[in-house]
Amino acid sequence: MLILLRQGKIGKWFSGIGQEAISVGATLALEPDEYILPLHRNLGVFTTRKIPFKKLFAQWQGKKSGFTKGRDRSFHFGTNEYHIVGMISHLGAMLGVANGISTAHLLNNDKKISLVFSGDGGTSEGDFHEALNVAAVWSLPVIFLIENNGYGLSTPSNQQFKCKQFIDKGIGYGMEAYQVDGNNILDVFHKVDELSKSMRNAPRPILLECMTFRMRGHEEASGTKYVPQELFDEWSLKDPIANYEKFLFDLDLLNDLSKQSIYNELKSGMDDDLAEVFAEPEIVADTNEELSDIYAPYTQIITNPSSTNSSQKRLVDAISDGLKQSMEKFSNTVIMGQDVAEYGGVFKITDNFYKLFGKGRVRNTPITESSILGAGYGLSIKGYKAIVEMQFSDFVTCGFNQIVNNLAKSHYRWAQAADVVVRMPTGAGVGAGPFHSQSTEAWFFHVPGLKIVYPSNPFDAKGLLCASIEDPNPIMFFEHKALYRSIESQVPDDYYTLEIGKALSVQSGEDLTIITYGWGVQWAIDACKELGINAEIVDLRTLLPWDKETVKLAVEKTGKVLVLHEDTMLGGIGAEIAAWIGEHCFKSLDAPVTRVASLDTPVPLAKDLEDNFLPKKRLKIALEELSRY
């Protein structure tokens, strides 16, 4: 690879030279179906798992036959065939994913472990601390392997952390910690072998620090000028390959002839496979394929209630009912979140669920949003459906990376569905101030690969939640806190689903059209009734993907349209909808598209300030102006 880089035949390469013993030794010690989550310099993981050179070359060269169809580079890929989950560029993000895989091991009682790599620099990330804490609390069989090579890119260890050694951190998490010579393949192999055998029978996490040195730059283009020469001189004497060769020579297990034979065989195989890959045509973009691969293939089949039985349910009751019946229908469903077990969640939606389904499937979590979302992803890799509750949607910021870079991109990158529903109690109107009242749906509206569902009433809430849990794609499910106990309606008692991606005209009218969702639906109905306006009111219900056809028909029907949402105006979802209407329905318009939204400020606490922030009063003014146009 270094030769190809110098010849300009590849664009980038991360060398693991000097650290080979860690990847190879650790991988050899695990069972072939135990998942490994490697990093840039862990080439030995992929070769030890016997991935064909041709397949690796195709991945590195961005060919269609690579693991990511040319959509991601180097080791940023996963393969269930070889039980490897590749990294994303954000360090630490895969540690929580390993927790999810090992949670599945516990639930399955299959006596397996997972192993996830971290560099010494990556241990400064919050994800590192969250993942180790969760693994310790849940007694998960995960080996957290730290390759301590002395540098985070160009920054030496003494500028990265103050601890003497990483094994000292073990006591802080309540876990065992061990240190080995990372340049001795036998030391690495025997320690990982010993630990993994023990962990399969007595599940628990272990911190393993492998002492090594990076003999090349962070990546080849960065060079090594920042590293003192004496360090290279010292560590070159500890080269893992040279020392292992000497060991084999001393035991008469290797000689010059057999060594050359091994080398020739490998070189010939690599040359042949590389020639085949270079001969493959460059990728020709297919827009339809690119767009279709954003989501995992799924054709929704609508389930109707099996009886006519129904009862009055509040929004909070309908959501709880949908969750419970989904847990009954799908035994591979796991609920995770802060206080969701014995306490029943802060809104009591999962009250007594742990008695029905057990604490394995209804899991209280530490306050670790990122790690738990990552664990949800890991569970989905093992065939589970994960439901992760953000106690308040505002707190999702602490797990943003997992959602937009792991969950959303998973299927597009390596055809792995991220079967995770993120429940998001959201919205203002409850006097909760700037950090418990935000409308956060627009933060995710821009992210390909996500679906966003936002019901406005109990009937839709239950049917759409059940549908979201069935769907194998990552779904952000928004639940308005102010509506939890303030509205109720007849809701079927049986399990049923509604179509995701389908809007609904909740009121027919001729004067004008209102496009809205969530609490805005009730505002629109009330305002039109008060003002005597005969409006067509469309409840989007699903924000991503949103129902353009229903919107188009409603706009064509009245010629006047107002887009309403609780979120702040600037950059809100209404801007996209209004722009689309202007572009595709211009000939049907009899007036400019009107937008009404909350003020462009944080959500204030005091009631009069919050009422002024919300758009209810401005909605009436805008409706009167639009109706007179």
Q: Could you say which of 83, 129, 411, 436 is catalytic?
A: 436
Q: Are 51 and 79 in contact (CB under 8 A)?
A: yes
Let me know if 40 is a catalytic residue: no
The two three-digit tokens of residue 472, written as one number: 């194998």
Nearest Cα neighbor of 219 from 317, 151, 125, 127 is 151
Evaluate whether 487 touches 429 at the Cβ level (below 8 Å): no
- Cβ atoms of residues 482 and 430 within 8 Å: yes
Cα separation, 326 vs 471, in Å, equals 12
Tally of CB atoms within 10 A around 405: 17
Distances (CA, A) of 263 to 50, 206, 259, 267, 268: 16, 36, 6, 6, 8
Provide the 8-state DSSP code for 182: T
In contact, 18 and 240? CB cutoff 8 Å: yes
Other CB atoms within a 10 A radius of the CB of residue 54 amount to 20
Which residues is 424 bridged to in the sheet? Answer: 478
Residue with the two structure tokens 């992210």:
447
Cβ neighbours of 416 (radius 10 Å) = 19
- Under DSSP, is residue 538 helix (H, G, I), strand (E, B) or coil? strand
Cβ atoms < 10 Å from Cβ of 584:
13
- C-alpha to C-alpha distance for 519 and 243, rounded to whole angstroms: 68
Instruction: Say how far apart CA 545 and CA 98 lie, in whole Å.
Output: 30
Dihedral through CA 509, CA 515, CA 518, CA 524, nearest 10?
Answer: -40
Long-range contacts of range 87-91, CB-CB < 8 Å, 24 or more positions apart?
A: 87/37, 87/38, 87/39, 87/40, 88/405, 88/406, 88/409, 90/127, 90/401, 90/405, 91/118, 91/119, 91/121, 91/122, 91/125, 91/127
CA 604-608-614 angle, to 5 degrees, is 60
What distance separates the 2 farthest-apart alpha carbons in the chain? Answer: 96
Radius of gyration of the chain (CA): 28
Q: Count Cβ atoms within 10 A of the Cβ of residue 352 and give its class: 0-12 exposed, 13-18 middle, 19 or more buried.
A: middle
What is the distance between the alpha carbons of residues 503 and 516, in angstroms, rounded to a whole number?
10
Q: Across-strand partners of 152?
A: 155
Which residue numbers are catalytic? 436
